[in-house]
Structure 1
Amino acid sequence: MVAVAPVAVAPRVGPQTSVTSRSGNLVSALRQTQEADLVAVSVRKAEGSVVADRHGDQVAAAYGVDLRAVIEAERVKGSTGEIVRVPVLAPDGLPQRFVLVGIGAGTPQDLRRAAAALGRSARGRRHVITTLGNGSSAEGARAVVEGVVLGGYTPPSAGLKSRTESSPVPQVTLVGAHPEAGLDRGRAHARATVLARDLAETPANLKSPAWLAAQAAELGAAAGLEVRIWDEARLAEEGFGGLLAVGSGSSTPPRFVRIDYRPEGVRARKPIVLVGKGITYDTGGISIKPRTSMVSMKTDMSGAAAVLATLLACPEVGVRRPVTGLLPLAENAFGADSYRPGDVVTTYGGKTVEILNTDAEGRMVLADGLGYAVGNLDPEVVVDIATLTGAASLGLGKRHGALFSNTDRLAAALTAAGAGSGESLWRMPLVEDYRPVLDSTLADIRHVTGRGADTSGGGAITAALFLREFVGNARWAHLDIAGPARSEREEYEVTRGGTGFGARLLLRWLEGLR
Structure 2
Amino acid sequence: MPRTPARTAAPVVDPWSVDRDLPEVVVAAGRLAECTFLTQDEVEVVVLPVAPGPEEGDGLEPRHGMIDAALRYGVDFSELAERASFDGAAGETLVVDLPRAHRSADALPWAGLPERVVLLGLGRSRVEDFRRAGAAIARETRGVGRVLTTASGTDTFEDQRALVEGYLLGAYRAPTAATGAPRTDPAAQLVLLGDHAQRAIDEAARAARAAWLVRDLTTVPSNVKNPGWVADVAERLAHAAGLAVTRLDGPALAAGGFGGLTAVGQGSASEPTLVAVTYTPEDAPADARRVVLVGKGITYDTGGIDIKPRTSMVTMKNDMSGAAVVLATVLAAAEARLPLHVTAVLPLAENHFGASSYRRADVLTMVDGTRVEVGNTDAEGRLVLADGIAWARSTFSPDALIDVATLTGAAAVALGPRTAALLATDDALATMIEQSARTTGEAVWRLPLVDEYDERLGSTVTELRNVPADERGGGAITAALFLRRFVGDVPWAHVDIAGPAHADKASHEVPAGATGFGARLLLSTLEGLAARD
Measure, in 1, the Cα distance between the counterparts of 2:44 and 2:264: 51
- Larger Rg, first or second structure (1 or 2): 2
1:39 and 2:58 aligned? no
1:350 and 2:375 aligned? no
Matched to 1:259, the amino acid is V
Identity %: 46
Report the CA distance shift for 1:104/1:490 in structure 2 as closer, same or farther (over 3 A): same
Measure, in 2, the Cα distance between the counterparts of 1:130 and 1:68: 16
1:66 corresponds to: 76
Per-residue displacement from partner, 1:410-446 (whole Å, max 9, x unpaired)? 1101100111011111100001111111001112200
Matched to 1:226, the amino acid is A
Matched to 1:44, the amino acid is A
Measure, in 2, the Cα distance between the counterparts of 1:511 and 1:32: 41
Measure, in 1, the Cα distance between the counterparts of 2:413 and 2:178: 33
Report the CA distance shift for 1:298/1:92 in structure 2 as closer, same or farther (over 3 A): farther
2:117 corresponds to: 98
1:4 corresponds to: none
Matched to 2:510, the amino acid is V
Measure, in 2, the Cα distance between the counterparts of 1:209 and 1:84: 46
Per-residue displacement from partner, 1:34-87 (whole Å, max 9, x unpaired)? 353221111112342312223113223333322232022111211111101124
Among 411, 426, 432, the residue aligned to 2:430? 411
2:4 corresponds to: none
Among 192, 210, 216, the residue aligned to 1:192? 210
Among 284, 291, 304, the residue aligned to 2:303? 284
1:209 and 2:227 aligned? yes
Count of residue correspondences: 504
Per-residue displacement from partner, 1:80-100 (whole Å, max 9, x unpaired)? 111011241265543332110
Matched to 1:436, the amino acid is E
The alpha-carbon deviation at position 409 of structure 1 amounts to 0.8
Matched to 2:473, the amino acid is G
1:482 corresponds to: 498
1:22 corresponds to: 28
Measure, in 2, the Cα distance between the counterparts of 1:29 and 1:140: 26
Measure, in 2, the Cα distance between the counterparts of 1:116 and 1:29: 27
1:493 corresponds to: 509
Measure, in 2, the Cα distance between the counterparts of 1:275 and 1:317: 20
1:82 corresponds to: 92
1:166 and 2:184 aligned? yes
2:18/2:217 contact within 8 Å kept:
no
1:389 and 2:389 aligned? no
1:254 and 2:272 aligned? yes
Matched to 1:205, the amino acid is N
SS in 2 for 1:442: coil
1:15/1:149 contact within 8 Å kept:
no
The alpha-carbon deviation at position 217 of structure 1 amounts to 0.6
Among 219, 241, 260, the residue aligned to 1:242? 260
The alpha-carbon deviation at position 11 of structure 1 amounts to 3.3
2:291/2:400 contact within 8 Å kept:
yes
Matched to 2:31, the amino acid is N
The aligned runs of 1:111-130 (5 Å cut-off) are 111-130=130-149
Matched to 2:74, the amino acid is G
Among 280, 295, 302, the residue aligned to 2:321? 302
Measure, in 1, the Cα distance between the counterparts of 2:81 and 2:338: 45
Measure, in 1, the Cα distance between the counterparts of 2:97 and 2:84: 10
Measure, in 1, the Cα distance between the counterparts of 2:195 and 2:113: 22
Greater Cα shift, 87-96 or 359-368 = 87-96
2:5 corresponds to: none
Measure, in 2, the Cα distance between the counterparts of 1:458 and 1:33: 60
Measure, in 2, the Cα distance between the counterparts of 1:95 and 1:106: 26
Measure, in 2, the Cα distance between the counterparts of 1:447 and 1:232: 22
Matched to 2:155, the amino acid is S
Matched to 2:239, the amino acid is A
1:14/1:191 contact within 8 Å kept:
no
2:264/2:349 contact within 8 Å kept:
yes
The aligned runs of 1:216-231 (5 Å cut-off) are 216-231=234-249
2:301/2:319 contact within 8 Å kept:
yes
2:3 corresponds to: none
Measure, in 2, the Cα distance between the counterparts of 1:164 and 1:216: 30
1:462 corresponds to: 478
Greater Cα shift, 416-425 or 266-275 = 266-275
Measure, in 2, the Cα distance between the counterparts of 1:341 and 1:93: 73
In structure 2, stretches of 5+ residues that fail to align are 1-12, 101-109
The alpha-carbon deviation at position 156 of structure 1 amounts to 1.3
The alpha-carbon deviation at position 121 of structure 1 amounts to 2.2
Measure, in 1, the Cα distance between the counterparts of 2:20 and 2:184: 19
The alpha-carbon deviation at position 320 of structure 1 amounts to 1.0
In structure 1, stretches of 5+ residues that fail to align are 1-6
Report the CA distance shift for 1:68/1:255 in structure 2 as closer, same or farther (over 3 A): same
1:272/1:324 contact within 8 Å kept:
yes
Per-residue displacement from partner, 1:367-424 (whole Å, max 9, x unpaired)? 0001101222111000000000010011111111100001111110110011101111
2:106 corresponds to: none
Among 139, 142, 155, the residue aligned to 2:174? 155
Greater Cα shift, 165-174 or 253-262 = 165-174
The alpha-carbon deviation at position 30 of structure 1 amounts to 4.4
Measure, in 2, the Cα distance between the counterparts of 1:181 and 1:33: 30
The alpha-carbon deviation at position 256 of structure 1 amounts to 0.1
Matched to 1:53, the amino acid is R
The alpha-carbon deviation at position 198 of structure 1 amounts to 0.5
Normalised by the length of structure 2, the TM-score is: 0.91
Measure, in 2, the Cα distance between the counterparts of 1:74 and 1:484: 35
Measure, in 2, the Cα distance between the counterparts of 1:464 and 1:501: 19
Among 324, 328, 331, the residue aligned to 2:350? 331
Measure, in 1, the Cα distance between the counterparts of 2:357 and 2:256: 20
Measure, in 2, the Cα distance between the counterparts of 1:34 and 1:14: 28
Measure, in 1, the Cα distance between the counterparts of 2:86 and 2:236: 49
1:16/1:170 contact within 8 Å kept:
no
Measure, in 1, the Cα distance between the counterparts of 2:482 and 2:528: 29
Report the CA distance shift for 1:51/1:430 in structure 2 as closer, same or farther (over 3 A): same
SS in 1 for 2:38: helix
Normalised by the length of structure 1, the TM-score is: 0.95
Report the CA distance shift for 1:368/1:9 in structure 2 as closer, same or farther (over 3 A): farther
